[in-house]
Amino acid sequence: MSQDKRQKRDLHALNPDGMVLCNPRDKEAAHRAEVEGIATDDHSAVTCRNCLDLLYKLSKEKRNQ
């Protein structure tokens, strides 16, 4: 399989505040994500590794509560 260098951009997850999960303090990033459609509430569609990591940790924490 050959890897296309012009990959689609990663799809990020949004946290409950509407911020990008892997960059929750950056309002600009949240705005860009919204405008450019690179963030989603659909966690099964997320491709950003950092977001997936955080989603995994969050769901684990929830289970422990």
Binding-site ranges for Zn ion (CB under 5 A)? 12, 22, 48, 50-51
Max Cα-Cα span within the chain: 44
Q: Judged by CB, which is closer to Zn ion: 2, or 17?
A: 17
In the chain, beta strands by DSSP E: 12-13, 39-40
- Say how far apart CA 58 and CA 34 lie, in whole Å: 22
- We find the least distance from the C-beta atom of residue 16 to Zn ion, in angstroms, to be 15
Q: Judged by CB, which is closer to Zn ion: 3, or 21?
A: 21
Residue nearest to Zn ion (CB): 48
- We find the least distance from the C-beta atom of residue 11 to Zn ion, in angstroms, to be 8
Amino acid residing at 24 = P
